[in-house]
Chains A and B, each alone.
Chain A
């Protein structure tokens, strides 16, 4: 039966009553309509500032005029389609792009207010302060122990090396699995363990920031879950910048997310806001898979 009785009205009928704003709930519950303030993650100090950063490979601008702040002891995810410039932006943060002859940066990239592209800034020192974990686990063809100790040793670490190795492996949630075979070849570990070893190797240098370039893309779901848990632990001590193709991963582990498209920053916001209520239609299209 159609609901077309005389008392049914259309949504277009104007409201003629003047009423108090207390709908909802039971009789007598007061209420008013107004937007609630957005609940951002509490702010920590800014540790990295990109100011109008453009990065070119020859004449091609892979990153265009990006301005964003990375906050201390947070996980910031960089997402976007292939070729959007997210890995280029990540590698710019510890000057890894210097290794590509045609790459050059314009604008400013400040780490603790120091311009890391200034001539006075030593890229080797920057890379010690800003460590990196790559897409594919890349342990050295050495023992587990020496994967950790080697970097520290050549950087002049003079304290108790065994303690450093244990602390680093513990921070990477790997100690319990390898403590009885520290002198076995690292390449005998599983892919997920190798990636955690690479994280342990990075934290052994006691960096300030960890850059992670799709650290789970070569791992199975269980190993991925371990790394994601680890990232959550690591942010208590380190600032993490994570490039990922996996939007669910960005949503799970990051505090803030930046979406890049064709080298431009489309939107940067609290992760919870960006994935539930993005402000930019292009973000909405990307996260719902309707891009392009």
Chain B
């Protein structure tokens, strides 16, 4: 393989990482917009969605081009497959961030976020999990990649708690139903986002080891 191809691979990997940083930024800003009732920041997240969509298409096109023209094998093949799959998750993560930002705009002035401390903890956990997934991808770090999916369960548990809390809160204060639904939507998007972060980490495990570890317990055992 030529140095030219190695450079192209490195370039597509860097573009994928740049997209990951963009998705991280969008989540961060969406959470800050929610915490600080900052409509401008929330609008900024919504406006950046197009950047991620464009990056997704560019990265995907480049991966397909490299596969068709260079027919990579071994670790090069695994890298391109991983970039392709991570690419999809990153775009979905950005969509979740946009959804959260839109809900943040609805929630401005309601004070509802402060009524749900579990939601604040969920935001912290989800951002941390995404950071771990992206760092695992950037460094091709197997240890971090293996640890990251385990962070998903506490986030799922918090989501279940928030559902209960919203039901209780809206039961006591029916006038807060709209805000409750927005809070629920934020929580759902955080829960989905964590699933995408988990997917990224699992794809890093494939990148490093060649093993596909998804659905281990769901598959028929040998």
Chain A residues with CB under 8 Å of chain B are 1-3, 5, 7-11, 13, 15, 17, 19-37, 247-248, 251, 273, 275-278, 283-284, 287-290
Contacts and interface: CB of A to CB of B under 8 A. Distances in A.
Number of chain B interface residues as a range:
35 or more
Given A19-B150, A27-B160, A288-B72, A7 B78 contact: no
A1 B25 contact: yes
18 contacts: A5-B31, A7-B28, A8-B127, A8-B131, A11-B131, A15-B147, A17-B154, A21-B150, A23-B148, A24-B214, A27-B159, A27-B191, A28-B156, A31-B217, A33-B146, A35-B213, A277-B78, A277-B210
A69 to B, nearest CB: 23
Given A23-B148, A24-B214, A35-B211, 10 more contacts: A1-B25, A7-B124, A15-B151, A20-B150, A23-B151, A24-B195, A33-B149, A36-B213, A283-B74, A290-B1
B127 A22 contact: no
Contacts of B212: 36
B28 A8 contact: yes
Contacts, number: 135
Sorted nearest first, the 3 A-B pairs with minimum C-beta distance are: A289-B1, A277-B210, A11-B135
Interface stretch (B10-18, B110-118, B136-144, B173-181): B136-144
B25 A11 contact: no
Contacts of A37: 222
B21 A3 contact: yes
Interface of B: 1-2, 5-6, 21, 24-25, 28-29, 31-32, 44, 71-78, 123-124, 127-128, 131-132, 135-136, 139, 141, 144, 146-154, 156, 159-160, 191, 195, 198-199, 202, 205, 209-218, 222
A201 to B, nearest CB: 33
B214 to A, nearest CB: 7
Contact of B74 (A17, A24, A26, A288): A288
Given A5-B28, A11-B132, A34-B216, A23 B150 contact: yes
A273 B210 CA distance: 9
Contact of B154 (A8, A19, A34): A19
B29 A1 contact: yes
A23 B141 contact: no
B161 to A, nearest CB: 11
B74 A287 contact: yes
A33 B216 contact: yes
Nearest to B147: A15
Contacts of A247: 73
B95 to A, nearest CB: 16
Nearest to A285: B74
A216 to B, nearest CB: 16
Contacts of B217: 30-32
A59 to B, nearest CB: 35
A152 to B, nearest CB: 41
B43 to A, nearest CB: 13
